[in-house]
Amino acid sequence: MDFYLAAVLQGLCFSGLALGIYLSMKIFNIPDITTDGSYTLGGTVTGIMLAAHIPQGFILPAVLLSGGVAGGITGFIHTKLRINALLAGILVMTALYSVNLTLMGRSNLPLLAFANLFGNWALTGSQGPDSLIVLLVITAALVFLLGYVLRTDFGIAMRATGNSESMVRALGVNTDRMKITGLAMANALTATSGYLVVQLQGFADINMGIGIVITGLGSVVIGETIIRRFRVVQPVSVLAILLAGAVLFQLALAVTLTLGIDPTLLKLVTALFVLLIVSLPRIFQSRTA
Amino acid sequence: MISLSAIHKTFNKGEPNEVVALRDVSLALKPSEYLVVIGPNGSGKSTLLNVLAGSVLPSSGEIKIGAQNVTALPEYNRSKWVARIFQDPLKGTAPELSILDNFRLAALRTSAKTLKVGTTNTFKDAVKTQISQLGMGLENKVNQQMGTLSGGQRQALTLLMCVMDEAKILLLDEPTAALDPRSAELVLQTADKLIREHQLTALLITHQLKDAFRFGNRLIFMREGEISKDLDAGEKGRLSEEELYKWFM
């Protein structure tokens, strides 16, 4: 039971990541893989601030800002310097590795000795369910906040930018600026996942972000399958389902691990699993079409 | 209202595929003038329209809208005055957004898109009233995705979207090229009506000589990047279709 609860907690921690990937890849149609770097950046910033005994109230804004700056730089390189989005993302991600290592000063930062977000709530009397409640509150807040933004006039312009750029430009939107803002938001969201994971597991690690973009993508694809199946259009519901996708993805991985798969192969299993869920609907579609 | 002076545009300058699209074109449009532009393929019609819209910047020359020099202004900054309809019906709307969201964005063409929910019930009713004048029954489908509609329906809605916000200039780039005759007729009639009602200065590019004949109060014929004929309303009225046809030969 604890094992599956851990998977659910992990999944909820990845909700920011799933929302970020959804924003960049689905809403803006930009294959942004700054993710691996901005996720670790969020974790690094959290780690060093916790270790320096900086109050929680300052940590999350700093994390959002750091992720936003990282995404903004990718957006700038992509739109203003006219570099392919994938390459722009790889460049920033690579640069962030050194940035993170410099910030942390070492490759692993243990944080168990410091108070964190999940400690001392005493809501249910045990750590696991307490963490679950805390995470549910935080992720619900993220969903409602982003859901609201997407419904506003600004949000409509955002959604239209990835959908019909020619139209949006003719309607007075600076699409370059919009994309930079969008990538900044996406990576700020991704950084919150780093923020949550580091506090949940009690350490920050320079390699924590390797392949994390696949986890985000897998979550989004699972979510999208549900969204398409039930024709969900309401932004808040769409985002909530993406969270469910993130949790389901972690649960599925947990199940594969209980089947006795060597943890060394976890990334391989993750990649294969994403390949499977991405390709299945297509294979199925081409049969029925 | 609009003045273009000595506009020159060369694409791929200095390369083997260099093309001169506009050669020192000067053109002045009075308010409420409805200019029809015809000419063979590659004569510079679309470039002329794009230069006005701001999606193509001229190599040299000056563009003024009213008293303001807009020569270097990018497209998104000219939307204050200019609304446009694309040749491809898919380009003027966002397919995955609802009709309502598309109209909301159009209603904000000249203003900032802020963090405020603008798709209120009042707005929805206003959109429904607008759409009902098309007589297509689309007013009951405002929450439907734009992409589920036909090209003709989308093009007609795009026209209405142009007048959701204050507009002075309407640019129509072969708006009916991809439409069946009936939809084409509806779109052109709607455009004509809106241009009159809102006293727009308009520019229509068309390959349909019949339409060039029926619509507008001024006609220019372009050839090789130059305006080779310029007819006012009276001269346009006296023109015969055979004569028009001969220009192309």
> What are the structure tokens assigned to A150, written together?
């997407």
Segment A140-162, tens digit of pLDDT:
999 999 999 999 999 999 999 99
**CA-to-CA separations, B241 to A33, A64, B37, B211, B213, in angstroms, rounded:** 59, 66, 15, 11, 8
What is the sign of the dihedral through the CA atoms of B52, B58, B64 and B69? positive
Chain A residues inside the 8 Å CB shell of B102: 160
Segment A16-49, tens digit of pLDDT:
999 999 999 999 999 999 999 999 999 999 999 9
**How many structural domains are present in chain A?**
1
Chain A within 8 Å of B106 (Cβ-Cβ)? Answer: yes
Rounded to the nearest angstrom, the gap between the alpha carbon of residue B108 and the centroid of all alpha carbons in its chain is 18
Segment B118-174, tens digit of pLDDT:
999 999 999 999 999 888 889 999 999 999 999 889 999 999 999 888 889 999 999
Q: Which residues of chain B from 156 to 215 reach within 8 Å of chain A, CB to CB?
A: none
pTM above threshold 0.90: no
Share of chain A above pLDDT 70, in %: 98
First to last CA, chain B: 33
- Greatest distance between any 2 Cα atoms in chain B: 57
Q: Which of A149, A156, A175 sits opposite B105 (nearest CB)?
A: A156
Q: What is the ipTM of this complex?
A: 0.87
Evaluate whether the domain defined by B2-98+166-248 bears CATH number 3.40.50.300. yes
B76/A152 Cβ within 8 A? no
- In angstroms, the separation between the Cα of residue B113 and the nearest Cα of chain A is 5
What is the domain partition of chain B in residue ranges?
A: 2-98+166-248
Other CB atoms within 10 Å distance of the CB of residue B87: 17
B105/A168 Cβ within 8 A? yes
Say which DSSP state B98 is in. Answer: B
- In angstroms, the separation between the Cα of residue A172 and the nearest Cα of chain B is 4
Give buried/exposed letters for B149-162 (b at 16+ CB in 10 A, else e): bebbbbbbbbbbbb
Question: What's the mean pLDDT in A120-146?
Answer: 89
B118/A170 Cβ within 8 A? no
Q: What is the CATH number of the domain that holds A247?
A: 1.10.3470
Say which DSSP state B145 is in. Answer: B
Q: Which residue of B has its CA nearest to A164?
A: B94
- Based on C-alpha coordinates, what's the Rg of chain A? 19
- Residue-number span of the structural domain to which A238 is assigned: 2-288
What is the sign of the dihedral through the CA atoms of B40, B41, B45 and B48? negative
Chain A within 8 Å of B110 (Cβ-Cβ)? Answer: yes
